Structure 1
């Protein structure tokens, strides 16, 4: 990076934030962005979560031109190993930091496999309008053309910007900005994997500056009713996947294992197979398990009283949330109520 280019970056960000650079905290959780491979051409079969936060930050010395950056290793895992305990720990740490006057924004480095779930969980429980940006990489840090450094650089700029304030938790990779609620991993391996298929990106990173073109209309972060500050566990909620020739075995097993909620990832508009599945869900509901109808399709609204008589069954529909995000909202809803009408309100709100 030339001295002139670095000065231009510093000037742009300083103007956006007023005198001085923003203070951005980078919380590291592992993932491919912190991964390493056997050689510079290893882009599959690498080992995730091997590189620590200081190494990540030192690999992008340009960060000091756009923000006062500090790093913290919260945990170090591949994101397929993400669980509720990690989420609670991360959320509490984020809220503690955002309450400090000397923190303007937070970047979270994360594995891409569950980045959409962690970001949506945080979108529902973060208690601040300050920017929170979740970032990852599709290639390990040791690879030719590793995407982690530029993704991290952009994420720090975004987290320190005025433009990102009040936008909810953001997912930023590949020069694209997505809303946590809507983004999903769209491809197993390409760098442009993160998409909001029908609703579209919120904006782009270009020339070391964020450009927003839309924003989410759903409640989030500081306006959310959910609070995990005193929670040590989350209710058990499981997902049952719909398919041709489906049976009730998984539903019965989850109920027997103590599920408080089940998300049914149905075919089409959340359709329920009869006679195998619908009776099993009815029986689960009568035992107190809250049932949410979602869809495996990945786009569109699951219509209430559309492919099932939800009022009669006392089911909830997921609106446009995919199954994995419907699970997160249902878990948090169950920390407040078991009233399905109230839970349905939450699904139409968040």
Structure 2
């Protein structure tokens, strides 16, 4: 009888998924944003107040996540993401870094506003040494709206962070079932739920709680990064600002940023990061004064070619490669914590 019972138990165990025996531990780090917002009525999907719902309420609204992992929550911030400064960015990074260092934590989900989630994700991918999944998640509609996208996004983000297959994939953004790499994802529309895209494509997609993978990140990130949040002191990074390229430009914006203490200026140029000929003397003077000039582009796809449009080698300028202006700003600030050499900064832009 004992032998029969043992055989039956073994047979049944083969039918039960391994996840039924031991679920991974996932911590949800809440920072605010639309996913924690509230509108005046269920039809207010565009007019609402962000960062109102605390983390416990977010988790309780999606009880199904406890079937995916052992989920706990931390209220790191409660802020609309457009108001995030270096202080908040560094605080998020330090809190997440402390979490991933704990053996009991298998993955981290960060709820965040959509406006600057791509910057936070890219920053975390550069400064946190871990192969544990870090997944940022957001929503385009507040929880109070009809067809709110936040609950399913949160469920999917927890599923991704709890998946062993996500280990070593770097920092990711999960939105609308798409799994995106931190370095090349961007918000491309502000009124639809399919708001995030990457010109190089998604890493994969998540269907019914399971991730399916289609590519990896070719650049350096997380464990392979030369940056480390533990080496960054204080509540501010070197000041980097962006000037948007257009016709009929004035040099005043560049000079004002220099006066304000900017250590680098991202020129979000037209086309291939083009610089109007009447602006070139101003940028060269800034470079001579020690302000790094980095050519990015306002065009959402493609990449800036070095020594095309402008003789970057001659001027000592840097090109942002395929990083958009806001991502270039993040990398430039980190680069300046290590060097003021334009050639070394250019190396970093090629590698990251």
Answer yes or no: same fold by TM over 0.5: yes
Aligned to 2:105: 103
TM-score by length of 2: 0.94
Aligned to 1:209: 210
Aligned to 1:181: 183
Q: Distance in 1 between matches of 2:108 and 2:256?
A: 40
Is this contact kept in 2: 1:13–1:161, CA < 8 A? Answer: no
Structure 2 residue 266 is matched with structure 1 residue 251: no
Aligned to 2:13: none
Aligned to 1:46: 48
Q: Distance in 1 between matches of 2:128 and 2:282?
A: 36
Is this contact kept in 2: 1:104–1:130, CA < 8 A? Answer: yes
Aligned to 1:4: none
Aligned to 1:320: 322
What is the CA-CA distance between 1:207 and the residue it aligns to?
Answer: 2.1
Q: Distance in 1 between matches of 2:229 and 2:175?
A: 28
Give the 3 Å change call, closer, same or farther, for CA 319–13 of structure 1 in structure 2: farther
Number of matched pairs:
335
Q: Distance in 1 between matches of 2:157 and 2:77?
A: 19
What is the CA-CA distance between 1:282 and the residue it aligns to?
Answer: 0.6
TM-score by length of 1: 0.94
Q: Distance in 2 between matches of 1:133 and 1:154?
A: 10
Moved more, 162-171 or 24-33: 162-171
Q: Distance in 1 between matches of 2:280 and 2:164?
A: 49
Deviating runs (4+, > 4 A) in structure 1? none
| Aligned 1:149-164 pairs, distance under 5 A | 149-164=151-166
SS of aligned partner of 2:265: strand
Aligned to 1:70: 72
| Alignment deviations for residues 83-122 of structure 1 (CA, whole Å, 9 cap, x no partner) | 1111111111111110100000000000001111110011
Q: Distance in 1 between matches of 2:96 and 2:336?
A: 22
Q: Identify unmatched segments of 5+ residues in structure 2.
A: 1-15
